[in-house]
Amino acid sequence: MNQIYGKVFKATDGTEYGVLRKASGPYPDDVPKADLIAEDECGNFFLKSAAGVSFWDHETGQASIIAESMEEFVDCCVAPSEVELERGKVKSAWIDPEFAKEFGIDPEP
């Protein structure tokens, strides 16, 4: 399974799902822990079942099939797309205060 971590699942329609990482909990009560494959940075989960691999959306609590097999799921895990930010287009960003301190930035200006 390690080969999927740090990658995104890219569906055949081009939809990219969040960056995959090892699921570590805590888990919502309605997520079957025995079926967990991975989670993403937004609190969504990827689950295996007899029907294939599902994406469990943390906002709706619903799971939908995204791959018909584990092999298809792994084959569709790719490096995340590069994101280019243009100067002046970013209006705000949250930076962890402890991280900012490492660079001598006062998190409370």
Domain boundaries, the chain: 2-102
Residue 104 has pLDDT above 80, yes or no: yes
What pLDDT is recorded for position 100? 86
0.85 cut: is pTM over it? no
The 3-class secondary structure across the chain, one letter per residue, is CHHHCCCEEECCCCCEEEECECCCCCCCCCCCHHHEEEECCCCCEEEEECCEEEEECCCCCCEEEEECCHHHHHHCEECCCCCCCCCCCCCCCCCCHHHHHHCCCCCCC
- Rounded mean pLDDT of 41-61? 92
